[in-house]
A and B are shown apart, each in its own frame.
Chain A
Amino acid sequence: MDWHMYPVLWCGVFGTWALVGYGLSLAGMTRAQRTVRAIGRIERVGEPRHGSSPKDGIAVVVSFQDPSTGEEFTVTNDGGPGERISVAWTGREIGVHYPRGRPHDFRFADHRSEGGRGLGWPNFALFLVYAGLVVVAAIDRGWPWALLGFCGPWALSGVYHLPGNIRDRNRRLGELAAMAAVPGRVVAVLKSVSTDDDGYTSTRLVPVVTFTTLDGRAVTAYCESGLRNPAGSQGLDVTIHYAPADLAVLTLDVEAERRSWKRDMAVNVVGVLVVAAAAVVGVVAL
């Protein structure tokens, strides 16, 4: 049997998936399009218990209003529906998403977002179709087609997005420079212990800090980096640096954060260069 049958089957299945997805998106029937995106307000922030699990996020009581009926709901993040709330203060606005007509089926979003058109999966399916075609070309005509097929579009996308990425990194570096510094305290260290199938036990420690902003808002936040010894950090006094424009952006070590973003920018540029070079090698070797 001719092996080409398998890529044809591959492309057929994922092509159909992509078409169905795009069709649903055009008809406004994707999950993202049917999701109601309400704005919730944190009414109360719970005190974290030392040694408890970090997976459910900071305990919060959130109120939101269903835009279609106007009905008010008060809920908690019991069981951690949706994204984990890792920075909380009374009055913070977060996203509350739920299918139309089912506010009880809500999920929290740590940040407010407009939501898309639900094209993520169809685009992924289209990528798989493209990958199948590149593999066929590489087998039939040689490995340079694999380099060109995969690295070419990747390099073009990288070059297209590079200016935006650099602007974003620069903005974050600027944000770091404008951060306010206030005293804070590690009030608890949360612990999550898990054992894998081979019997290896891994422990994850998440310190929780509290601080009061310059304008008087009490913030509770998970702080997974910046402490040398998280296990023994309960009760430790620390200096918190936060962005006044968005209290959710905070760090204990501004310099480390700055180095991290600079390294990230360099990796971004080098990555684009490497991928572009691979694509050029593919073209030359054709």
Chain B
Amino acid sequence: MTITTVAPPPTHRTPLALARGFLTGGVVGTSLAALVVGGIVENVPLFVTGLVLPVVYGLLFLLAGVPRRAREAAVVPCTALAMIEGLEAVGGESSDIPVRFELTVAPDDGPAYRVEITQDINLVDLSDYRPRGVVVVQYPPDRPWRVRIVKRPTPEWEGRVASARLDSAPGTARVAAPPEGRAFGFVVLLGLLLGAVVVVLPFRADLFDRNDTAKSPSAAPPSVSSTSSTTVVSSASGTVALGPGRSFLDTGELDRAVGSLTTGGDARQALTVVVQEQLLSVVFLPTGMQASGFDLRALPYDRVPALVEEATTTLGVDSPSTWQITADRLTGGVAVRVSVTGPEGTAYLEADGQGKVVRRVSAGG
């Protein structure tokens, strides 16, 4: 074996090792960001991805390392005598404490070399290890710095220890594990950051909107969610605008829209509700105001299609172009007014809080 006084080249500097470091950093960054972002925006698939990704990567990493581990396990370790140059306990609170050894290893088939190792030694057995004492060690021939003291040598090696006289190797003949190298740490960090960015960027709108909403709940600016409809809610009013091809006369559409304005069981009183083909507007009763409001959810929404149908067919507007429903409680009970407008003019009918028609006014009447 050639003894080197120069540290071997870092094993982590090969392109493959760097790529592996980058990938590991990326997976860690991605999964952590997916867990955090998925938890904040309540995105279950993203959260599950954050859990599954490291597990899958770990399995692949494990499988990819099988050939290397098999190769290393197939190597028959070298056994040699070594002399303790110095030793120092470096901590530990259990009965086995880590001890740092400075050893001179004397292989049978090569020159002696120095190495520093740390190994757990039982407190009771510590007295067996003294400076200048001879011990039996083992190490893989391709990694001579991975020395392990054999605590229970075979009888043959016990005999050799009893009769051994070893000289110290010079301090320059030192073997050490290759340093990790800065490039490896850098690519791991880079991968970690990129992985996090890849997750955070697509969800930045959700994240920042939520942050803005959370900052000042009392003077909350309007929150906007955009899917096939647009909902804008503030402390004073709420608006739901439907996308193309949809109408508030469609089954359940009004209930959904009202639900989106009263999220979380919000029981705020409404002052006025106006419903058009694709627009629902609500003016909320300001807090502390002594006026006649009504529960937004108490209106007879299931009667709306029938009322509009009745207004457009029985009040003399043959080809109505628009319709509108206005609900308020200015005169005692809740009043619902359905008005339709066409070439013939505007007609309207009035209904009570249960949707029962109480008055009809024809076009031109």
Enumerate chain A residues within 8 angstroms of B124, measured Cβ to Cβ.
49-53
Segment 110-128 of A: residues with Cβ below 8 Å from B: none
- Whether A61 pairs with B155 at a CB distance below 8 angstroms is yes
| CB within 8 Å for A78 and B153 given contacts A1-B45, A52-B124 | yes
A52 to B93 alpha-carbon distance, docked (Å): 15
Residues of chain B lying within 8 A (CB to CB) of residue A76 = 150, 152-154
Q: Indicate whether A68 reaches chain B with its CB closer than 8 angstroms.
A: no
* Residues in A whose Cβ lies below 8 Å from that of B64: none
Cross-interface CB contact of A75 among B48, B95, B154, cutoff 8 Å = B154
Query: Known: A104-B77, A195-B94. Contact between A74 and B155, CB under 8 A?
Result: yes
Give 1 or 0 for each of B40-59: 1 = CB within 8 Å of chain A CB: 00001100100010000000
Which residue in B52, B93, B152 is a CB contact (below 8 Å) of A46?
Answer: B152
Q: Does A201 contact B (CB under 8 A)?
A: yes
Q: Is A79 an interface residue (CB 8 A)?
A: yes
User: With the chains together, A51 CA to B96 CA distance in Å?
Assistant: 12
By a CB distance below 8 angstroms, the chain A residues around B150 are 76, 78
Quick one: closest A residue to B96, CB to CB? A53
**Is B73 a contact of A102 with CB atoms below 8 Å?**
yes
Using known A-B contacts A6-B48, A53-B122, A192-B95, determine if residue A105 contacts B152 with beta carbons closer than 8 Å: no
B156 CB–A CB distance under 8 Å: yes
**Interface size bucket, B side?**
20 to 34
Is A99 touching B73 in the complex (CB atoms < 8 A)? Answer: yes
Where chain B touches its partner, the secondary structure class is mixed
Does B151 lie at the interface of the complex (its beta carbon under 8 Å from any beta carbon of A)?
Answer: yes
Q: Report the nearest A residue to B43, measured CB to CB.
A: A1
Mark each residue of chain A from 41 to 58: 1 if its CB lies under 8 Å from any CB of chain B, else 0.
000101001111100100
| Pair B152/A44 contact, Cβ less than 8 Å | no
Contacts of A191 in B (CB 8 A): 95
Complex-state Cα separation, A79 to B153, whole angstroms: 11
CB-CB contacts of B262-301 with A at 8 A, as 1s and 0s? 0000000000000000000000000000000000000000
B128 to chain A, nearest CB (A): 9
B95 touches A193 (CB 8 A): yes
A76-B154, A77-B152 known; A52+B77 contact, CB < 8 A: no
Give chain A nearest CB distance to B299 CB in angstroms. Answer: 34
Most buried by A among B77, B124, B150, B156: B124
Residue from B45, B48, B93, B151 in contact with A195 in the complex, judged by beta carbons closer than 8 Å? B93
B88 contacts across to A, CB distance below 8 A: none
B residues 248-264 touching A (CB-CB < 8 Å): none
Distance of A89 from chain B, by nearest CB (Å): 17
Interface residues of A in 50-87 (CB under 8 A from B): 50-53, 56, 59, 61, 74-79
Closest CB-CB distance, A281 to chain B, in whole Å? 33
Band of interface residues on A: 20 to 34
The 8 Å CB contact of A59, one of B48, B123, B152, is B152
Q: Knowing A6-B48, A193-B94, A195-B93 touch, does A78 contact B152 (C-beta < 8 A)?
A: yes
Contacts of A79 in B (CB 8 A): 148, 151
Measured between beta carbons, the chain A residues less than 8 angstroms from B155 are 44, 61, 74
| Chain B proximity of A216: nearest CB distance (Å) | 23
Q: A101: which B residues are within 8 A, CB to CB?
A: 74
Min Cβ gap A1→B in Å is: 6
**Nearest B residue (CB) for A202:** B94
A194 at the interface (CB under 8 A from B): yes
CB distance from A261 to the nearest CB of B (A): 33
Q: For the complex, is B108 an interface residue (Cβ under 8 Å from A)? A: no
Give the complex CA separation of A24 and B148 in angstroms.
35
How far is B76's CA from A84's CA once the two chains are assembled, in angstroms?
23
Does residue B125 face the partner (Cβ distance < 8 Å to A)?
yes
Q: Scan residues 14-50 of chain B and give those whose CB is less than 8 A from a CB of chain A.
A: 44-45, 48
- Least CB distance from A77 to B in Å reads 7
Residues of B within 8 A of A192 (CB): 94-95
Find the residue from A6, A74, A104 having the highest chain B CB count within 10 A.
A104
- 19 additional A-B residue pairs with CB within 8 Å, beyond A56-B152, A104-B77: A9-B52, A44-B155, A50-B124, A51-B124, A52-B125, A59-B152, A61-B155, A74-B156, A76-B152, A76-B153, A76-B154, A77-B152, A79-B151, A104-B76, A192-B94, A193-B93, A193-B94, A194-B95, A195-B93
20 contacts between A and B (CB under 8 A): A1-B44, A1-B45, A9-B52, A44-B155, A49-B125, A52-B124, A52-B125, A53-B96, A53-B124, A56-B152, A61-B154, A76-B152, A76-B154, A78-B151, A99-B73, A104-B76, A193-B93, A195-B93, A195-B94, A201-B93
Q: B-side interface residues toward A, CB under 8 Å?
A: 44-45, 48, 52, 73-74, 76-77, 93-96, 122-125, 148, 150-156
